[in-house]
Structure 1
Amino acid sequence: MSLVLENIFHERDPVAEQLPLLGSPIPIIALTLAYLAIVLVIGPAFMRNRKPYNLKKVILVYNFLQVIANCWLSYSFIVSFYAHRAEVPDFGCLSKYAHSPTLQKLNINGLYAFYLFKVIDYVETVFFVLRKSFKQVSFLHVYHHIMMSTFVYYLGSYYGGAGQYASVVILNCAVHGFMYTYYFVSALRPNMKMGLWWKKYITRLQLTHFVLVLLHHSYPLIFRPQCDFPKGLLWFAVCQSIIMLWLFGNFYVRTYLRKSNKVSVSDAKDKTVKTE
């Protein structure tokens, strides 16, 4: 397994190995298995004969901190790359920057912060279970959380930095900042939830995010074959973007387009009845 990963990621980074939760795969594997057991088996069984917990205050704090953390990380990447844009020879082929201490530090520390965010995201699903919102514990939700946390672990520990995935960090954190702002407002003012017209735009932003990631990682494969960022990582991003576009696209169609059509048909029937 180790040889396979080294062939894909090219190397195992000595700096990343010294960071907590990155030195060994055991913690992330244990956390992921515990997450699956809690949200799919233990949690539902525990809540079967219990009333949903009132977690409003906890969720408000969690959502607020998520907004701050995600916006800060996205902003940090944007500002750092803009300030040191002269040290980036090609934004279509991002890698490590041995000649730029600032970007090199951002490469590993920024990705490490992103990795911790993805692990902390597991808590969100536990909230769903404790509130008995089991329909929110969907395949899309669970798959997305596990894929992001485990892959970012291997990206950090083997490649040792964000590289081309800096676009993933920037876009993902920006979308999450917007998403958790919605969650915060809807938790703060539950009566406003149905009136928050911009909810569907979160999914549109997520779809746009995956399209941009797909384009950014396809670019070096097509136009920069000499790019030294591992080809396996580029192909992984391309394939994952396509998978997520399909999953989120289906969710958007089911949640917004089909419901909208049903409402239109229902309204038409009501008008017919009234005219009669």
Structure 2
Amino acid sequence: MSLSLKSMFHERDPVAEQLPLLGSHVPIIALTLAYLAIVLVIGPIFMRNRKPYNIKKVILIYNFLQVIANCFLCYLTIVTFYTHRAEVPDFGCLTKYPNSPTLEKLNIRVLYAFYLLKVIDYVETIFFVLRKSFKQVSFLHVYHHIMMSTFNYYLGTYYGGMGQYASVLVLNCAVHGFMYTYYFMSALNTKMGLWWKKYITRLQLTHFVLVLLHHSYPLIFRPQCQFPKGLLWFAVVQSFVMLYLFGKFYVRTYLRKAQKAVATDKNDKIIKTN
């Protein structure tokens, strides 16, 4: 497996190997297995005969910190790339920047911060379990968290930077900034945070379309791009997978419920008329 990953990512980054939770496979594998055990087995068993925990204050603090962290990473990445745009030969083919110390540091440091955020995201599912909101512990939710954390581990360890995935980081952080703002307002029980829930899913779908386009571009128009082709294809395939899963969720949660509501309203009018 290690040899196949090296051939896909081309190298094992010496800087990333020195960072906590990167380099060795053990931490991310242990964290992911512990996450699965807690949210799918241990948590439900533990909560079976217990009332949901009141952890509103903890959730408010968690959501607020997530908003700050995601918005800051998004802002930092955009501003740094814009400031040093003259040192970026082609925004359609983002790689490493050996001739730009600032962008080179950004490449690994921001990715590392993003990776840590994706690991911290595991806590969100544990909150669902403690509140007995088991419907929210869906396949889409669990798969998305595990995919993001484990992939960012391998991207950092073997490639040592964001490269073309800078677009993923910026878009993902922007969407999560909105998402955790919604969670924060919902935890406050404010009506203002309710009406725009479906638009967050629309933002997520738009995000995956943009990621698909950005990673398809070098495959089609920049075949000489030095960013690993395997990573480009992974982003393309993963974008299609996420579009399908989130699209299915959107149809089931919003479109079908809206259709049922319209049908129910029509039936009520018919009954009243009769």
TM-score category by the smaller chain? over 0.9
Aligned residue runs from structure 1 range 1-276, under 5 A: 1-189=1-189, 192=191, 196-276=194-274
Give the superposition deviation at 1:177. 0.2
Q: Deviations over 1:58-109 (max 9, x none)?
A: 0000000000000000011100011011100100000000011111010000
Specify the code of the residue in structure 1 equivalent to 2:19.
L
Spell out, residue by residue over 1:21-57, the C-alpha distance to the aligned partner (whole angstroms, 9 max, x if none).
0020100000000000000000000000000000100
How far off is 1:167 after superposition?
0.2
For 2:167 and 2:105, how far apart are their aligned partners in 1? 16
Gaps of 5+ in 1: none
Distance in 1 (alpha carbons) for counterparts of 2:272 and 2:181: 41
C-alpha distance in 2, partners of 1:23/1:184? 34
| C-alpha displacement of 1:197 | 1.1
Instruction: Give identity over the alignment, percent.
Output: 82
Distance 2:205 2:151 in 1: 20
Code of the aligned partner of 2:215: H
- Kindly provide the amino acid, as one letter, of the partner of residue 235 in structure 1: W
Residue identity in the other structure for 1:106? L
CA–CA separation in structure 2 for the residues paired with 1:39 and 1:15: 33
What TM-score does the superposition give when structure 1 sets the normalisation length? 0.98
- The amino acid across from 1:25 in the alignment is H
How big is each residue's C-alpha offset from its partner over 1:86-137, in whole Å with a ceiling of 9 and x where there is no partner? 1001000000000111110100000000000000000000000000000000
Query: How far, CA to CA, are the matches of 1:263 and 1:121 in structure 2?
Result: 34
- Partners of 2:2 and 2:128 lie apart in 1 by 35
Amino acid corresponding to residue 238 of structure 1 in structure 2? V
Paired amino acid for 1:198: W
Which consecutive unaligned segments of at least 5 residues does structure 2 have?
none
| CA deviation after TM superposition for structure 1 residue 189, in Å | 1.9
RMSD of aligned Cα (Å): 0.8
1:268 is displaced (CA, Å) by 0.5
Partner Cα distance (1:25, 1:215) in 2: 31
How much does 1:272 deviate? 1.0
* TM-score, length-scaled by structure 2: 0.99
